Amino acid sequence: MPEDFEVEKPKSASEIRKSTKPIMEKRRRARINDSLNQLKALILETLRKDSSRHSKLEKADILELTVKHLRSLHRLHISAALCAADPGVLGRYRAGYSECVNEVTRFLSTSEGVHAAVRTRLLAHLA
């Protein structure tokens, strides 16, 4: 009585890749999602946002908030480095800002087309 055993041929490298590709993709997506969840927790904590109210943040929102925060940190780092290198930088910055505020104030006081509410909000923002 002959037995019906088929000898399995060894799989080629491309066949192995095809069979493991879905598993590898699933692991890659899991790593991405885990990292996004960690970023979400960090960014909400940093921005002092209530995580229960922001539990449904989209991945794009998490990435946008992270980029915005990193840019802010980068600006602070550069500002601190400039001030450390030249202590007069901060004074010149403040003088330039004050001059700009004065110019905006002069412009708003002479412009007739600007609504009073807009003028008030803008000046309050600059103060």
Per-residue pLDDT tens, the chain, 127 aa: give them.
556 666 677 778 888 778 889 999 999 999 999 999 999 999 999 888 776 676 788 999 999 999 999 999 999 988 888 778 887 888 888 899 999 999 998 988 888 888 888 888 888 888 8
In contact, 90 and 83? CB cutoff 8 Å: yes
- Looking at residue 7, its pLDDT comes to 66
How confident is the model over 67-83, as pLDDT tens digits?
999 999 999 988 888 77
- Looking at residue 60, its pLDDT comes to 95
The pTM for the full model equals: 0.54
- Looking at residue 61, its pLDDT comes to 93
Q: What is the mean pLDDT of the chain?
A: 86
- Looking at residue 95, its pLDDT comes to 93
In contact, 62 and 39? CB cutoff 8 Å: yes
- Looking at residue 2, its pLDDT comes to 55
In contact, 61 and 87? CB cutoff 8 Å: no
Q: How far apart are CA 62 and CA 37, in angstroms?
A: 9
